[in-house]
Amino acid sequence: MAGIYDFSAKALAGDEISLKQFEGRVLLIVNTASACGFTPQYKGLEALHQELAPRGFAVLGFPCNQFGGQEPGNAAQIEQFCTSNYAITFPMFAKIDVNGDNAHPLFKYLKNQKSGLLGPSIKWNFTKFLVDRSGKVTARHAPTARPESLTREIEALL
């Protein structure tokens, strides 16, 4: 069976990135959107990334337009938004689907590993999957979970 490091995804810039390059790090994988009520969570995600990256942590952002059309932009517009509004430095990937037949294989895997309260489907933007250093999906957090509320849980994995 495939593991988290067997997947790859296109970066916003268009190059294919293997998740193998994140092996040994604690990861927080998040489906994001630029025009969502939860969009201000970018600030907390970046703060976590800045504070904990030196200890082996990374946030990985995956823009998605499946919830209320809240990520309508192209890659350049998404990058511009994230940079100018939130000074995002964590890796951002190309826009993907997280549900349905066209869901990115990484998100199919994540949902299979940690189902939500109402089943495997992702219900909205800013659903968060926490992955330990060995690549095991240890937790799934709802969009309402603020990034800063995950600090203790992340630190326990570091």
Tell how strand 128-131 and strand 137-141 pair up: antiparallel
Q: Count of H helices and E strands in the chain?
A: 4, 6
82 catalytic per annotation: no
Q: Which position among 9, 19, 36, 131 bears the catalytic label?
A: 36
Number of other CB atoms surrounding residue 137 within 10 Å: 19
Q: Token pair for residue 39?
A: 């969009």
Which helix (H) or strand (E) is 44 found in, with range? helix 41-52
Residues in Cβ contact with 79 at an 8 Å cutoff, skipping those fewer than 6 apart = 12, 13, 92
Side chain identity at 85, as an amino acid letter?
A: N
Give the 3-state secondary structure percentages of the chain, helix then strand then coil, rounded to 5: 35, 25, 40
Active-site residues: which are they? 36
